[in-house]
Amino acid sequence: MRRQSIMNLSSTRSCHWQHAVFVILLAALFALVAPAVTMAQSGKMVDLRGVWTTKYATPTEAGRLVRESRYEITRQDGELFWGVDVWHPIDPKTGKPLPEWIRNPFVGSLGMAGDRGLLATQGVQFAFRLKGPDEMELEMASFKKLGGLAPTAFYAVMKRGAVGTVSQTKWPDLSGSWRGQCLVAQPGELRPSSVRLDLVRQDGELLWMDDVWSPSGPLTAKTDPKALLRERMMGSLNPAGTGGVLTKEGVRVGFRLLAQDRMEVEFIRMAGEDEKPTAFYAVLRKGGDEPVAPVSKGIDFVGTWTGSYRYGLPDRPVDATSSLVITRQEGNAIWADDVWTQPGERGAAPVHHSDPMRGSLSPDQTHGALAKQGACFTFRVLDADHLEFAFTGIDSNPAAFFGVFTRKR
């Protein structure tokens, strides 16, 4: 994916010998990808146990809210960890924190290299990057109303044994209307659509934007105003000011700034009435309308991909194997089934699932995302037969874990 004439017998023999060695080494390398990942997961990981505290700003319907919260990691087993997210609910009348504390249990996992990870509670996804043994940068995205707060997203710096804060920086100005065309995988079809994000308010790193779209198709001058939906999203730029995250009910939009007037968005829908769960990518232009980029011919991902990994239940770790069966690919759009087994409770038999998922590769085909009701996979393409993935489930049984899918040949 990503020949030479031989003129005499001695060079031919040398070429054959070198080619054989290369093939053997290549086969050994591919055979070791999944075991190496398993060893990385089960090997020594950084100890995260302790109390991590932060003071941060988050956007709310009333404006900027500064508050403190802490994450108590009480147990760790290799890459897996368990703990409690401790934070103040909000008084809906005043928009200010109430004195009592909410304690939400979470499960989480470190990634393959041990330098980043995920954790999840019901309705919330957290991603973090370790900046040192006692410091991490956290991204929080909530997908439903919790503790008096509408869906929102923010970044925070957490410290163990101290209170972390995000350093002040000069934030890029995102004012204006950002627009682009996209293709969205839906049940049985690939649907043309549009992304339009209108900045309503910016307060430093904090963002309030309207997601303006229509379930009937792309936005044009002929779009019926009655078919237009305008849905408020709230979120934040990341501490580096190079991208950020926005959320609304059931939806996460991550973005990366390409230039002052262009951004690439990753749109993941895990719930919704007007559109089924899906994921897609688009490039947006400020003050313009970016067309869908031509798709270069790359890897055909159709097939059965299988992975073994570990994840945490509230009371124990679980060894699991599941399959991602990619049934259709059209350009960068992907349709798949998540085939997995749910452990039985209290001695009951395990339950087998096959959940439809829809999603897309990124424009450069180096990574991608798939979504179903209440959960999503994001993945990185290692080669034609290996995908490194991260899974987050935010429904009644939250889950967060990493693994590698290997294509069956």
Residue 258: CATH number of its domain: 2.40.128.120
CA distances for 165 relative to 41, 137, 158, 239, 343, angstroms: 30, 10, 7, 10, 40
Span 329-380, pLDDT tens digits: 999 999 999 999 998 887 889 999 999 999 999 999 999 999 999 999 999 9
Mean pLDDT of all residues in 80-106: 91
Percent of the chain with pLDDT over 70: 89
Pick the last residue of a domain from 129, 164, 199: 164
Question: Phi/psi at 12 (nearest 5 deg)?
Answer: -65, -45
Q: Could you give the CA distance from residue 292 to residue 172 in angstroms, rounded to a whole number?
A: 25
Query: Is the same domain home to 255 and 319?
Result: no
DSSP string across 192-218: EEEEEEEEEEEETTEEEEEEEE-TTSS
Query: Is the same domain home to 191 and 270?
Result: yes
What's the pLDDT at 39?
A: 35
Instruction: Judge whether 235 and 247 are in contact, CB under 8 Å.
Output: yes
Residue 140 belongs to a domain: yes
Residue 21 belongs to a domain: no
Mean pLDDT of all residues in 301-305: 98
Residue 148 has pLDDT above 90, yes or no: no
Pick the last residue of a domain from 164, 197, 221: 164
E strands present in 204-302: 206-213, 229-237, 243-248, 251-259, 262-269, 278-286
Query: Is the same domain home to 257 and 192?
Result: yes
What's the pLDDT at 43?
A: 55
Report residue 391 as tokens: 């899974």
Residue numbers of the domain that contains 215? 177-286
Query: Is the same domain home to 127 and 228?
Result: no
25 pLDDT tier (thresholds 50, 70, 90): very low
Query: Is the same domain home to 140 and 55?
Result: yes
Instruction: Judge whether 365 and 225 are in contact, CB under 8 Å.
Output: no
**CATH number of the domain that 62 lies in?**
2.40.128
Q: How many domains does the chain have?
A: 3
Residue 27 has pLDDT above 70, yes or no: no
What's the pLDDT at 139?
A: 98
What's the pLDDT at 322?
A: 98
Query: Is the same domain home to 192 and 148?
Result: no
Q: Could you give the CA distance from residue 53 to residue 378 in angstroms, rounded to a whole number?
A: 28
Span 219-273, pLDDT tens digits: 988 888 888 999 999 999 999 999 999 999 999 999 999 999 999 999 999 998 8
Placement of tokens 């959940």 in the chain = 355
Pick the last residue of a domain from 164, 199, 226: 164
What's the pLDDT at 44?
A: 77
Q: 241-258 burial, b for 16+ CB within 10 Å, e for fewer?
A: eebbbbbbbbbbbbbebe
Query: Is the same domain home to 377 and 317?
Result: yes
pTM, two decimals, is 0.88
Residue 216 has pLDDT above 90, yes or no: no
CA distances for 387 relative to 135, 277, 302, angstroms: 29, 21, 13
Query: Is the same domain home to 192 and 136?
Result: no
**CATH number of the domain that 390 lies in?**
2.40.128.20
What's the pLDDT at 321?
A: 97
CA distances for 359 relative to 372, 377, 384, angstroms: 9, 9, 18
Residue 9 belongs to a domain: no
Residue 29 belongs to a domain: no
What's the pLDDT at 23?
A: 37
